Amino acid sequence: MPANTAESAAMERAFSLALRGPRGINPQVGAVILSPDGDILAEGWHRGAGTPHAEVDALSKLAPGEAGGATAVVTLEPCNHTGRTGPCSEALLDAGVARVVYAVDDPGDASSGGAERLRAAGVEVEAGVRADEGRALLRDWLEVQRLGRPRVTVKWAQSLDGRAAADDGTSKWITGPVARADVHVRRAGADAIVVGTGTLLADDPALTARQPDGSLSDHQPRPVVLGARAVPAAAAVHRHPLPLLHRDGRDLAAVLEELGGLGVQRVFVEGGPTLASAFVRAGFADEVLAYIAPVLLGGARLALGDLGVDTIAQARRLSVASVERLGDDLLIVATMQHEGEN
């Protein structure tokens, strides 16, 4: 039976509850328990790895038997496996829930199957309620499940003729203040920001996300520096509110795996050209942000280096998602199509 008005409203409430939980290895999930008359009996959300899942959190606020005949409205399909906590499908069955409404199917091989388990036990299940909103809420987590690693955005700023710096190495500032402010907004949306030691030693970046007035944004990406050279003790990155992760960067897959294990879902690669090229060449660039300034520099300091492209047939082709004017500059956002994708 399709979701009724009370269940749709409860799903909207569950979305807002989900956002109270932390981003990380586990998805943000919210749950609302409705009485047979459509009244809210309890609410819950997932507070992070090792804590009760949203459904169990909501059920814990009810007396034994109070959920009998109730409807559970959940943003993600109830899990069907035992990890740090037990399966939510079994908890719902034990509580006597008669109907389950959820937005998004669980993509995990081990954790999915909760809907099937509930139906087999006689519980009415309605899937895909407000699914577009549910997928938007879980977009980054779902992408991590699909890719098996964090989603990577590679950003660079360049002159109109494709240079990242003048021949003497200076690059502040190729783009204008509007474009630079946009970068900080996107930094604040990431979980980790990555630069190479060359950029760190040349520019001494703080790697923080800042507001136009210079104050720190509420959300900060974790600073990551890749390269064999040492990070100076006086480097600005040491004053970042989050601890620095410094790796030699020779194994980008291992770096992404480590970041994923730390709960990172979105990685923002700021370069320089050597590092940006390495991520593209390795096939780890999912999105590209190219900030293009109306200046000409010439010279050898290209925005990208060797990508492993020897002939036009090997060109890395992208799909342009948007083109935006930022002051005098342009921002082109493009997505990379990986091998095997349609």
Query: What's the CA gap between 199 and 220, in Å, rounded?
Result: 20
Whether the Cβ atoms of residue 72 and residue 79 lie closer than 8 Å to each other: no
Do the domain assignments include residue 329?
yes
Residues 182 and 310 in one domain: yes
Mean pLDDT of 300-315: 90
Is residue 342 one of the residues assigned to a domain?
no
pLDDT single digits (tens) 185-226: 999 999 999 999 988 998 899 999 999 888 999 999 999 999
Give the whole-angstrom CA distance, residue 138 versus residue 23.
10
Question: Are 105 and 196 contained in the same domain?
Answer: no
Domain-located, residue 297: yes
The edge-to-edge listing of strands for the beta sheet with 71-76 is 40-45, 30-34, 71-76, 99-104, 124-126
pLDDT tens, residue by residue, 222-272: 999 999 999 999 999 999 999 999 999 999 999 999 999 998 999 999 978
- For residue 328, is pLDDT > 80? yes
Structure tokens of 43?
């609410």
pLDDT digits (tens, 9 = 90+) for 131-163: 999 999 999 999 898 889 999 999 999 999 999
In a domain, 284, yes or no: yes
Domain that includes residue 158, residue range: 149-336
Contact between 164 and 291 under an 8 Å Cβ cutoff? The reply is no
Instruction: For residue range 269-307, list pLDDT tens digits in order.
Output: 997 899 999 999 999 999 999 999 999 999 999 999 989
pLDDT(341) > 60? no
Judge whether 276 and 165 are in contact, CB under 8 Å: no
**Residue 315 maps to which CATH number?**
3.40.430.10
Q: Is residue 135 a part of any domain in this protein?
A: yes
Give the residue among 116, 68, 114 at the shortest CA–CA distance from 88: 114
Half-sphere exposure of 270 (CA within 13 A, CB side): 26
Question: Tell me, what's the pLDDT at 250?
Answer: 92
Residue 115 lies in a domain: yes
Please give the Cα distance from 101 to 71 (Å, whole number). Answer: 7
List active site positions.
Answer: 55
Question: Is residue 235 included in any domain, yes or no?
Answer: yes
What's the pLDDT tens digit per position in 105-119? 998 766 678 999 999
Predicted local confidence at residue 177, as pLDDT: 93
> Does 132 share its domain with 160?
no
Instruction: List the CATH number of the domain containing 132.
Output: 3.40.140.10
Query: Do 35 and 118 fall within a single domain?
Result: yes
Q: Which residues, other chains included, contact 315 with Cβ-Cβ below 8 Å and sequence gap of 6+?
A: 309
- If one counts the domains in the chain, the total is 2
Residue 124 lies in a domain: yes
Which of 83, 110, 140 represents a domain boundary (last residue)?
Answer: 140
Q: Please, where are the H alpha helices in the chain? A: 5-18, 54-59, 88-95, 114-120, 131-137, 139-147, 177-188, 197-203, 252-261, 273-281
Do 114 and 231 lie in a common domain? no
Q: Do 181 and 95 belong to one domain?
A: no
Q: How far apart are CA 198 and CA 205, in angstroms?
A: 11
The per-residue pLDDT of the chain, averaged, comes to 92
pLDDT of residue 81: 74
